[in-house]
Structure 1
Amino acid sequence: MKLIFTLLLTAFTVFANDAVRAFIDDTQPGFRDLKAEDFTKVNSADDTWNWKDGVLHCTGKPVSVMRTVKEFKNFEMVVEWSHQKPAGNSGVFVWATPASIEKLTAAGKPGLPHGIEVQVLDHGYTDKVKAAGGKTDWFGTNGDVFPVGVKMTPFPPLSPDGSRSFPRKHLAKGHGEWNHYYIRAINGEVRLWVNGEEVSGGTGCNPAQGFLCLESEGSPILFRKLRIRELP
């Protein structure tokens, strides 16, 4: 009986781990690469973004974004990223508003758009804030999802002020390593998987259509395997 119980427990554990660590198969029909021609400049410098052998290099300067040429509504997106220095900060903006993009483009100055931010933050950022005497309970480094200038009801657990969806598990790897994000945005709901497991998101997003943006925010970062599938 003990042997049978042990075998059943092992099988359940393996099954559970397989289910948890399920990665989206971005070779399925409908997925396509996001390439250089799919993006355009907003308020970055001419040398902020550079494609090399399928990898998008970002200097991190100035604080700015690069947007998709077209707007998206319902979609699935896969992106892998790697911070190149400790405390690196970046993000993926979902449904960035055309009005905020137009304002940034016209001004040509550092700044970020309005939309839903899927944060890309290195663990060293916490140490950086602590060293400066700041509070560290209002953000996480494993995939926060939060609204910037728009509406969203975040999934729990929440940040102290209730504005951010904190990740339920801490799965992100540190600088110099590659992380895998799967973002699903459908009918005003955004969900994030980090390295194979769903961790955070929100619903009631308004607006629920707009540009996708990659963020430059002070530190070098690499992006690769940018893939998207539009949905009805």
Structure 2
Amino acid sequence: MKLFDGKDLNGFDTFLKKDGLNSDPNHVFTVDHGVVHVSGTEMGYFITKQEYSNYYLRAEFKWGEGTFGERHGQARDSGILYNIQGENKVWPRSVEFQINEGCTGDFWMTDGAALTGKDGKRVTGPEGSAMKIDRFDKGPYQNVTGYRDPVNELEKPHGEWNVVELVNRNGHVWQYVNGKLANEGTDASPASGRILFQAEGAEIYFRDIKLYPLK
């Protein structure tokens, strides 16, 4: 099923740190010709109204140009946060499929969420903060705009569309970037919930956001 019909964000709410729920006076989120344009000028997200469990999610993204605010000049940053329970805020309790130049595919556990990595280590994000699990075979990282991993870059060159896929089955999660398994974890907590797409200081485009229930 299409989470995003290509015409509008009717299946979603928007939330901005500055303006709150469903108030977007500066058009951070716009839809044009089947693509969601996220300006990145403010911190926030668009989030599904429904909660989901046991699914395969597929979406495409590409970076725009700008970086803004506290993230000006830093690596372009966004993400898909999932298994969201509780109130809307920046940022809600969730597991994150990190989308960030040089480290797309990392896990981040935010505001009390937890996940066990492939190495068997349990990672819990502190309340009001977050902890990460690096993607597989990740190289050195520099937080600068346009950065690419010199060892194992999974993203296509800037301006090209990338495919991200998430399999979320009973708290066992797999994250794929352009067809390659980037990360895997088990015993996610929470294990189900809403799904959001971030505005986090960088211009980004999303399209073809689809979700398929697992049998």
Name which one, 1 or 2, has greater alpha-carbon Rg.
1
Distance 1:151 1:75 in 2: 19
**Cα gap change, 1:143 to 1:157, in 2 (>3 Å):** farther
Percent of residue pairs identical:
24
Which of residues 62, 81, 101 is equivalent to 1:122? 101
Which secondary structure state, in structure 1, belongs to the residue aligned with residue 10 of structure 2?
helix
**Cα gap change, 1:157 to 1:34, in 2 (>3 Å):** farther
Which of residues 68, 74, 77 is equivalent to 2:48? 68
The runs of 5 or more residues in structure 2 that have no matched partner are: 18-23, 67-74, 125-130, 138-151
Q: Which amino acid aligns with 2:185?
A: G
Moved over 3 A (4+): none
Higher helix share: 1
**Cα gap change, 1:57 to 1:156, in 2 (>3 Å):** farther
Where does 1:189-208 land on structure 2 (aligned, <5 Å)? 189-208=172-191
Which of residues 173, 179, 183 is equivalent to 2:162? 179
Which secondary structure state, in structure 1, belongs to the residue aligned with residue 206 of structure 2?
strand
Distance 1:145 1:156 in 2: 13
1:3-41 CA distance string (max 9 Å, x none): xxxxxxxxxxxxxxxxxxxxxxxxxxxx43523221112
1:150-179 CA distance string (max 9 Å, x none): 111122599xx9841423453212421211
Distance 1:163 1:224 in 2: 26
Instruction: Provide the aligned C-alpha RMSD in A.
Output: 2.3
Aligned to 1:225: 208
- How many residue pairs match? The answer is 174
**Cα gap change, 1:200 to 1:84, in 2 (>3 Å):** same
Distance 2:185 2:33 in 1: 34
Check if 1:145 corresponds to 2:114: no
Check if 1:155 corresponds to 2:118: yes
Higher strand share: 2
TM-aligned CA deviation for residue 190 of structure 1? 1.4
TM-score normalized with structure 2 length: 0.73
